[in-house]
Amino acid sequence: MDRNRRWWIAPSILGLALIIALVWGYNEYTTKNELGVALENHYQRLFFDVKKHVENVQVNLSKAMLSKSRDQNVLLLSQIMNEAYFAQDKLGQMPITHAETAKTEKFLNQVADYSYYLIQTHLQGKPISNEQMASLANLQQNSATFNEELAKLQSELSDRNFLFGSLNARQNKKVQEGNEKVFQTSLTNIEKNMAKTPELIYDGPFADQMINRKPLGLENRSVSKNEAQKIAVEFFGANRVQDVTSFEEGKDSSEIRIPSYTFNLHPKNTSKELAVYMGVSKKGGHVLWMANPRPVPKGNLSIKDAQEKALNYLRQKGFENMEPNYYLRYDGTVLFNFVYKEQNVTIYPDLIKVKVALDNGEIVGFDASAYYLNHHNRKIEEPKITLEEARKEVRTDFDINSSRLALIPKGKNEVLCYEFKGSYKGADYIVYINALTGNEEQILQIIKNENGTLTF
């Protein structure tokens, strides 16, 4: 009797469980679809936007070539810059591998960068040279082919009702393969075309000349690995090193910015995991950087004492005339920026960073790669305007605390400037006035807090 009455319990519970599972599954399914559609819409928008932005670049480039008015040209170029950056930014958000877009992104970035450079040329009152005209024509031609390919892709994708989501989703295999092929062929075409862009000669952060810059501060003498290892051990202190290993190098190790040997030093009396890392240049055999990531407990060394230790360290390593500039305190250490000083001119490109542990004053970090990249025998020009004349180029209500001569980097060149530090409406800034022409070259905003200073 008992058994008969309860026969339905198990099936109904299982049935209930099934219903719960079905409801849950359906919910998941709809959520997944909604997310998929939202993502797809986003991708579609990006694609259509890229097309539009590239179109605008193309049109404005042709206009800029035609326009004879300088003002009009500046306006057009600033639009080109904007549109190219937009296109690049959106292209970088699409679900395409980097291998398929690298050259296109580079092209767009350089179009923007080059436009910015030309705007500067215009504002300095220089005419556009024939070579620059030729470059513009070239960029126009390239963006035109790019745009044409995009137009083709657009119509083809619309025709096939292509979904970007299918590029990484598990969809109907055949449809997906077909679509992917169209898409990939198109991208490959664009990339191939972009590869043909001749190198643009100009000065800007994305210029090839800037990226492929060779170090100026290294002697031509080559150093063997053994010698380099000896240099590294000496640099850290031979009596403190237990053993040294070097990092494995690849076949193209000479193509990096400053070809170097990299070492792993194990200091005595420390655990196996804690190592000191060091890079020694193959040319000249200089220690480029050192990092000692040992944990630093809270210490009570003052910033001033730490700075003294850092200065001593630099002197001991053979760097004279280094001047401390800013510091930044973090993780129990303090990082100092030292710059080279010559004939009373602060030379910002020759920068060395030294990190001091605040527990015992040990130097736990050193980075001179910027110094060796830029340092060379300079012929510093005499300023053509006086400090007073330069002061007139700065807003009168800028409250100046200090002023001096400084050499600052500008693209791949260096310009001699009067540096005015001060505050304006409560915030701190540095204003640089060209000491030869009186132009305002740069303004930096300084953010100070209890841990140090950052420039923006």
Partner 1 sequence: MKRFTITTLILVLVFLSILMFYEPNNVLQEATNRYNAFFAPRILYWGTQGQDVKNVQWQLVKWKYLIGRVDGIYGADTYRAVRRFQAKNGLRVDGVVGPQTAAALGITLTGAAPASAQGINRRGDEYLLARTIHGEARGEPYIGKVAVGAVVLNRVRSPKFPNTVAGVVYQPLAFTAVADGQINLTPDKDSIKAARDALNGWDPTYGCLYYWNPATATSRWIWSRKVTLKIGKHWFGL
Which residues from 19-48 bind partner 1, rule CB under 8 A?
20, 24
Which CA distances in Å does 39 have to 32, 33, 176, 181?
Answer: 11, 10, 17, 21
**CB 419 within 8 Å of CB 430:** yes
- Kindly identify the residues of this chain, within the stretch 208-237, that bind partner 1 according to CB under 8 A: 211
C-beta contacts of 288-293 below 8 A and 24+ residues apart:
288/258, 288/260, 288/367, 288/368, 288/369, 288/372, 289/366, 289/367, 289/368, 289/369, 290/235, 290/236, 290/363, 290/365, 290/366, 290/367, 291/364, 291/365, 292/362, 292/363, 292/364, 292/365, 293/364
166 interacts with partner 1 by CB under 8 A: no
C-alpha to C-alpha distance for 50 and 54, rounded to whole angstroms:
6
- Nearest CA to 394 out of 414, 413, 417, 410 is that of 417
Among 41, 97, 224, 302, binds partner 1 (CB under 8 A): 97
Site string for partner 1, 426-445 (x = CB under 8 A): xxx----------------x
According to CB under 8 A, which one of 182, 291, 303, 387 is a site residue for partner 1? Answer: 291
Query: Both ends of the chain: CA-CA distance in Å?
Result: 85
CB neighbours of residue 71 within 10 Å: 9
Angle at Cα 397 formed by Cα 391 and Cα 398, nearest 5°?
Answer: 60
**Of positions 5, 68, 98, 304, contacts partner 1 by CB under 8 A:** 98
Of the candidate spans 56-64, 226-234, 260-268, 297-305, the one that interacts with partner 1 by CB under 8 A turns out to be 260-268
Position among 51, 283, 309, 353 found at the interface with partner 1 (CB under 8 A): 353
For residue 340, state whether it binds partner 1 (rule: CB under 8 A).
Answer: no
Residue 1 binds to partner 1 (criterion: CB under 8 A):
no
Paired sense of beta strands 260-267 and 241-246, if any: antiparallel
Task: For residue 449, state whether it binds partner 1 (rule: CB under 8 A).
Answer: yes
Long-range contacts of 275-279 (CB under 8 A, 24+ apart): 276/236, 278/232, 278/235, 278/236, 279/369
Smallest distance from the beta carbon of 283 to partner 1, in angstroms? Answer: 13
Decide if residue 251 touches partner 1 (CB under 8 A).
yes
Q: Of residues 54-83, which lie at the interface with partner 1 (CB under 8 A)?
A: none
Nearer to partner 1, 382 or 450 (CB): 450
Nearest approach in angstroms of CB 253 to partner 1 is 5
According to the binding rule CB under 8 A, does residue 253 interact with partner 1? yes
Which of helix, strand or coil describes residue 263?
strand
Q: Which is nearer to partner 1, 283 or 405 (CB)?
A: 283
Q: Judged by CB under 8 A, which of 335, 339, 390, 407 binds partner 1?
A: 335
Q: Binding to partner 1 by residue 456, rule CB under 8 A?
A: yes
Q: How many residues bind partner 1 (CB under 8 A)?
A: 71
**Dist CA 271 CA 150 (whole Å):** 58
Q: 3-state class of 170 per DSSP?
A: coil
Instruction: Supply the minimum distance, in Å, between the C-beta of residue 225 and partner 1.
Output: 14
Tell me how far apart the alpha carbons of residues 245 and 231 are, in angstroms, rounded to a whole number. 13
Minimum distance between the CB of residue 275 and partner 1, rounded to whole angstroms?
7
Q: What is the token pair recorded at 387?
A: 């400090």
Q: Mark the segment that binds partner 1 (CB under 8 A) among 126-134, 221-229, 287-295, 341-349.
A: 287-295
Minimum distance from CB of 127 to partner 1 (Å)? Answer: 27
CB of 251 to partner 1, least distance (A): 6
Minimum Å gap between C-beta 356 and partner 1 is: 13
Cβ 280 to partner 1 shortest distance, Å: 12
**Tokens encoding 137:** 């024509």
CA separation for the pair 143, 54 (Å, rounded): 7
> Is residue 191 at the binding interface for partner 1, with CB under 8 A as the rule?
no
Among 146, 162, 289, 340, binds partner 1 (CB under 8 A): 289
Cβ closest to partner 1, residue 3 vs residue 379: 3
Instruction: Identify residues 107-126 at the interface with partner 1 (CB under 8 A).
Output: 109-110, 113
Please select the residue that binds partner 1; options are 47, 85, 183, 340, rule is CB under 8 A: 85
Strands 399-410 and 333-342: unpaired
**Rounded to the nearest whole angstrom, what is the least distance from the CB of residue 9 to partner 1 in the complex?**
6
Nearest approach in angstroms of CB 44 to partner 1 is 15
Alpha helices in 67-164 (DSSP H): 70-91, 98-123, 130-160
Query: Please, which of residues 362-391 interact with partner 1 by CB under 8 A?
Result: 365, 367, 369-370
Tell me the β-bridge partners of 185: none
Name which of 151 and 211 has its Cβ closer to partner 1.
Answer: 211
* Residue 400 sits in the site that holds partner 1 (CB under 8 A): no
